[in-house]
Chains A and B, each alone.
Chain A
Amino acid sequence: MGIKDLSFKKSLWVFHLSAGSCNNCDIEILDLLTPRYDVERFGMKLVGSIRHADVLLVTGIITKKTKARVLEVYEQAPKPIIVIAIGACPCTGGIFASGYNFAGPLDKVIPVDAYIPGCPPKPEAMLAGVMKLLAPPPPEQANANK
């Protein structure tokens, strides 16, 4: 196990960045903190600064004005960092892809580790997505990787 895997093993600290969203994805992320979903039982926690984070959640389309800020936040992030695109917006642009202020999907701006599509994805889907990313690969796949 490399240091990268080790650092993501437990207790992820999450920073949430809303680029140009409609709010629903953001609210569903906050919802994860509240009693019904309670992600803190997995040791996850929303933090106020990217400098403390292991995971960067991006919601909403990348507008031309936020693009520079997204890059800046990514540069400030301690590496290694996991970037997760939440919702149809950062994955592809979703319904806003034809807008004049759209600067391209998130993976054209910064490298993305996981995509969680949906508009908005249900909180369960977000949890499942993060868990899948962190779980060790199933044995057959692990063998194939050798």
Chain B
Amino acid sequence: MGKKTIVPIGPYHPLLEEPEFFKLYCDGETVVDMEWETGYNHRGIEKICESKTFEQVFFVVERICGICSTSHPFAYANAVESIGGVQIPVRAKLIRSIVGELERIHSHLLWVGLAGHFLGYNTVFMWAWKYREPVLDMFEIITGNRNNYAMFTIGGVRRDIDETKATELLKVLDDVKKKTDLLVGAVMDDPVIHARLKGVGTLTAKDIHDFGAVGPTARASGVDIDVRRDDPYAAYDMVNWKVITTPEGDVFAKAKVRLLEMYESISIIKQCLTLLQKETPGDIKAKVKEIPEGIGIGHAEAPRGEVFHFVKSDGGNSPVRHKIRAPSYNCITTFRRSCIGGTISDAAIATAAVDPCYCCTERMVQVYDYHSGKHMMNAAELIKFSQQKTEELRKKL
């Protein structure tokens, strides 16, 4: 093998918002190995949770990751409620599902925007984020905040969705649906995007099993898993929807799964709203006296895959051990298979395809010359590299 070059991606660059640090080992244009340096974002949340009461933990877990600020409370609620055997009212179940699916829509829109930017389609970035705003407004109306919703509590939810909010929500959904059509058209019919994404960063079903990857990453490789269907929680067994899978495993497939999932989310919310009208208003919380001794394991399907919470209680006020596994923890390791053998210009989009969330995983990326250890390229340049490739392709077609 010839001279190897190390390409550091990160640690701080403008568009992957979090600190992250990958080292790509390159031989010419080809990536031959990959390494991570981690811990920049490690905040010791699991330990902090042990010093809070069961109710307070909700506000901590919601701040693990800003985008999944429903999914973590969801999984935690599932865990704690299973220890106490708490039955939550139907209305609360429906509201939980509605908030969860709204979050999926906003997260997928965010991803489409960022992926567009990586490819040099800044228009897609601006569009997708513009269409995301009405969803955030809806969050503000329903929960009182654009992010970090503070919606969940043990035994139910903290705020009701009344008739006015429901009508408003329906209007926004119709709007989002139209915009999704537009984005789907823009992505699916563009020859440049096809040329750029097909066959890039492919993961086989075996890779997925080896790393335990979850969510859209797994579903795009034909692995048919979704916690919402396999181990139904909240209202997901009361409505009709389907799990989107596709067998190809490349970046294009991941984009397709995410875009089509948005339609499912819209349909789930609509069905939930219809069911909500039949329930008595105001019945949103079960009375919970105490959490007995025991072990609770809860999981929930976040936009990026399965969130897993393990809670052990000794009958006191706060958990004695709280283990949290975010989906990115298992998905990021797959970069090892998806990037190696590809070119550097594809590395940016192959890593972005997983929609990595470093805050969840507590991690950081960088490119050095293997021999001199000299800094060769930073992430901004890497993205530029990727954008140039799209530009060249566009000219050719």
A interface residue numbers (CB < 8 A to B): 15-31, 34-36, 46-49, 60-61, 63, 65-66, 69, 73, 94-96, 98-102, 119-120, 122
Contact = CB atoms under 8 A, between A and B. Distances in A.
B14 A18 contact: no
Contacts of A119: 63, 148
Interface string B40-81: 111111011001000000011001111101000000000000
A63 B43 contact: yes
Contacts of B13: 48
Contacts of B110: 27
A54 B33 CA distance: 37
B292 interface: no
Contact of A61 (B39, B43, B51, B378): B43
Contact of A60 (B41, B59, B129, B378): B41
Contacts of A94: 63
A44 to B, nearest CB: 13
A34 B378 CA distance: 24
A101 to B, nearest CB: 5
B89 interface: no
Contacts of B130: 34-36
The dominant DSSP class at the B interface is loop
B12 interface: yes
A90 to B, nearest CB: 13
Given A20-B41, A49-B380, A36 B67 contact: no
B66 A34 contact: no
B133 interface: yes
A69 B40 contact: yes
28 contacts: A16-B17, A18-B19, A20-B19, A20-B41, A20-B42, A21-B66, A22-B65, A23-B67, A23-B359, A24-B148, A29-B17, A31-B129, A34-B126, A48-B14, A48-B380, A61-B43, A63-B39, A63-B40, A63-B43, A69-B12, A95-B59, A95-B63, A98-B48, A98-B51, A100-B47, A119-B63, A120-B146, A122-B146
Contacts of A95: 48, 59-60, 63
A96 B43 contact: yes
B11 interface: yes
Interface in B343-386: 357, 359, 378, 380
A96 B41 CA distance: 12
A9 to B, nearest CB: 24
Contacts of A100: 44, 47
Nearest to A122: B146
Interface in B198-245: none
Nearest to A61: B43
Given A16-B14, A36-B130, A95-B60, A101 B43 contact: yes
Given A47-B14, A60-B41, A63-B43, A120 B19 contact: no
Tell which of B43, B59, B110, B125 has the most Cβ of chain A within 10 Å: B43
Contact of A23 (B44, B45, B146, B357): B357
B359 A99 contact: no
Given A46-B14, A47-B14, 14 more contacts: A19-B19, A22-B66, A23-B17, A30-B129, A34-B126, A34-B130, A36-B130, A48-B14, A63-B39, A65-B42, A69-B40, A101-B44, A102-B44, A120-B66
A99 B43 contact: yes
B147 A120 contact: yes
Contacts of A31: 129, 133
Contacts of B17: 16, 18, 21, 23, 26-27, 29-30
Contacts of B51: 98
A60 B146 CA distance: 18
Contact of B147 (A20, A28, A48): A28
What are the nearest 7 A-B pairs in CB distance? A24-B66, A26-B17, A48-B380, A23-B66, A34-B129, A99-B44, A24-B147
